[in-house]
Amino acid sequence: MMKNMRKNKDVGIYGLTAKWYDKNSRKSRLTQMQNYANEVASFVNTPANVLEIAPGPGYLAIALAKKGFNVTGVELSPDFVKIENNNADEANVTVDFKEGNADHLPCEDHFFDFVICSAAFKNFKDPVKALCEMHRVLKKGGTSLIIDMNKDATSEDINNEIRETGMKGFDKHFVKFAFKTFLKQGAYSETDFESLLSETPFKNYTIKKEGISLFVYLHK
């Protein structure tokens, strides 16, 4: 399903679905986003320029802004851009959220110290071009980090992930179903990432498995 959807265009979340995602994922994702923000902070110091690609409701970008980073977010869905800006206003932080595609980032060359993309890479129509764009906008010596579902994640991995989120009721069962079906089917394995990266300027990289996810560190 995911593969078919991304054949012609990047997969985005719009309208009422975007609002539902913001409302229902907030509690389960905030701690995780704080952990990701801490990971970024282990690589760069404030006030570094950080880009988040496909920030969704903007939780990670906002967590990074709270740490003192200069944060830009590039988001495909105009509905999410509105939600992101509202969430940033509520958090009393400034983030430059803008509409755009991962394969044609509306950003300067060699501008960012760190680029991160969480849970969205599998949605991109042209993953190689998206990787090349990450390389283009990254400063020499900078790092990009992709965090996304591992196609080789086991049922046990998925069950543990759901347990850690604390989700209950319908949300728990729906998310578990999504992980085990169309999200996993659209995800990339470690071998897949290595194949994609062979077509990009990124030659120095590390891939780490953690739970249901792969952490792909790309160094320029």
Q: Which residue has the higher pLDDT, 47 or 5?
A: 47
Q: Which residue has the higher pLDDT, 163 or 54?
A: 54
- What's the confidence (pLDDT) of residue 40? 98
- What's the confidence (pLDDT) of residue 17? 86
Question: 111 and 139 in contact (C-beta within 8 Å)?
Answer: yes
Q: Which residue has the higher pLDDT, 21 or 111?
A: 111
Token pair, residue 173, equals 């069962």
Q: Which residue has the higher pLDDT, 171 or 41?
A: 41
Query: Is residue 184 very low, low, confident or very high in pLDDT (cuts 50, 70, 90)?
Result: confident
> Is pLDDT of 178 > 70?
no
> What mean pLDDT is predicted for residues 82-89?
97
> Is pLDDT of 2 > 60?
no
d(CA 86, CA 92): 10
> Is pLDDT of 74 > 90?
yes
> Is pLDDT of 45 > 60?
yes
d(CA 171, CA 153): 20
- What's the confidence (pLDDT) of residue 218? 98
> Is pLDDT of 148 > 60?
yes
> Is pLDDT of 194 > 90?
yes
> Is pLDDT of 33 > 60?
yes
Give the pairing of strands 138-149 and 213-219.
antiparallel
Task: Write the CA distances from 177 to 158, 173, 181, integer angstroms.
Answer: 10, 6, 6
DSSP helix/strand/coil, 76: coil
Query: Is residue 21 very low, low, confident or very high in pLDDT (cuts 50, 70, 90)?
Result: confident
| Average pLDDT of the chain, as a whole number | 90
Q: Does domain 2-219 have CATH number 3.40.50.150?
A: yes
Q: Which residue has the higher pLDDT, 183 or 191?
A: 191
- What's the confidence (pLDDT) of residue 172? 67
Which of these ranges, 108-117, 158-167, 192-201, has the smallest mean pLDDT? 158-167
